[in-house]
Amino acid sequence: MRSNLSLFFAIFLLFGCKNNGKNIDEMQISKVKTLESIKNFGIVIHGGAGTILKENMSDSLEMAYREKLKEAISVGHRILKNGGTSMEAVTKTIKVMEDSPLFNAGKGAVFTHEETNELDASVMDGSNLNAGAVAGVTRVKNPIDLALTVMNNSPHVMLSGKGAETFAQEKGFSLVDPSYFYTERRFKSLQKIKQREKDKVTRASFKDPFIKNSKFGTVGCAALDKNGNLAAGTSTGGMTNKRWNRIGDAPIIGAGTYANNATCAVSSTGWGEYFIRAMVAHDISAMMEYKGVTLKEAAREVIQNKVPALGGDGGIVSIDKDGNVAMEFNTAGMYRAHMNSEGELVIRIYKEE
């Protein structure tokens, strides 16, 4: 009897030690994964792409752009550093740019042909592929917040126009008077384009550099948080002198915005019609998922080859599941910034930087 008890305890101790060792191994693996996730969080933003040349930029205006990019990305980075979600970082960062008259989003939105402002925005959560978007709103101060609310508090992905604003009111948004979006700089740009359209030589010609560049202007953000979740968002006032309630790529999931934890998060800026046709944001993710290429390789192929082959131009900012960043564009410049987990900040405007 005593020998049987001894044998039982010996077996119990043997398996107990093995299980304990297994638990220790699992704890160590979990710890390593956590440390890797914390090490790789990051955020990247853009403030639009186009014919952005140093010779056309005053020192004071350039400084203003750089300071606002720094302010915006620092807000998102602080959220990520403190353990906040990538979606929170994306939306709060974009709001800083929406509230600035420097960018074609929110306060700085461009004017339509009818001299109104129509705003679009979208967000996407890479952890579950959930998304929300709004298009053609005229009284929502921060369209990115409304896009987030559509995602979290409605059965839909995209709402537009008056319906989107009715939804906003029902969800507690305070609508602003459309005059809030008026800026002298954007209004004068519209008048210049209208005048050029009257010219028999350049009438409605996108070959005219001034008219062509009126297509550009968007803000966007992509982020990876400490939990390994990706998110992306984009907001815009669209194209200067646009008509007929035109909608570009910014609110289109897969074109202007895309996020998938398996691959990357992307925000686009450029000639929206071509970015829609090329489904730019999703195409970058799909190339990574199905072809196994890196984020930089996928971004370069789409922006430098696929979009130009259709006749379009612009750029993207993106971050992958490992924290690698791509800021790819085929124009003369793109307002852009990146900040990694170490707090290292990169701010660039021109192509040659």
Residues 6 or more apart whose CB falls under 8 angstroms from that of 279 comprise: 254, 255
Q: Distance (Å, rounded) from C-alpha 248 to C-alpha 243?
A: 12
Q: What is the largest CA-CA distance in the chain?
A: 110
Q: What are phi and psi of 335, to 5 degrees?
A: -65, 125
Overall residue count recorded for the chain in this entry: 353
What's at 59, amino acid-wise?
D
**Catalytic residue status for 218:** yes
- Given the residues 218, 234, 257, 331, the one annotated as active site: 218
Q: What are phi and psi of 129, to 5 degrees?
A: 60, 25
Residues 6 or more apart whose CB falls under 8 angstroms from that of 105 comprise: 94, 97, 98, 119, 121, 143, 217, 218, 219, 235, 236, 237
Question: DSSP letter string over 52-68?
Answer: --GGGS-HHHHHHHHHH
Q: What are phi and psi of 78, to 5 degrees?
A: -60, -40
Contact (CB, 8 A) for 88 and 79 = yes
Active site residues: 218
